[in-house]
Amino acid sequence: MKEKKAKRIVYRSEREMPLMVISVGSQTHNLTGAWRNIRPEIDLEKCLKCGICWKFCPEPAIEIVDERPVVDYDYCKGCGICAEECPAKCIVMAEERK
């Protein structure tokens, strides 16, 4: 998960700009986690290992690490689809801590 994080590449002038769009996740410098008001918290005790939260994450900010869902809070926008869709109801949307 860690190697995904990219620094924003800043171009001083238009001439330095590449002719092609840089691919391979160059947008990951944009930490959208700051948009969030409520945060998903997964209770792994109740987890059924169905992968539904991973399947329906629109970011995708939920990753499967060692067969467990892990939320990447740098990018999670707090939409709450995972909590709504979880069949075991083991994801709770909690108030964001300051």
| Using rule CB under 8 A, residue 59 touches other proteins | yes
| Using rule CB under 8 A, residue 89 touches other proteins | no
Asked if 78 and 32 count as a contact pair (C-beta separation under 8 A), the reply is no
Residues from 11 through 40 that contact other proteins (CB under 8 A): 11, 17-18, 20-32, 35
Q: What angle do CA 44, 59, 88 make, to 5 degrees?
A: 30
- Closest among 24, 7, 81 to 69, alpha carbons compared: 81
DSSP, collapsed to helix, strand or coil, labels residue 64 as strand
For residue 74, the minimal CB distance to other proteins (Å) is 8
Task: Provide the binding-site residues for other proteins, judged by CB under 8 A.
Answer: 4, 8, 11, 17-18, 20-32, 35, 44-51, 54-56, 58-61, 64, 67-68, 72, 74-75, 77-81, 83-85, 93
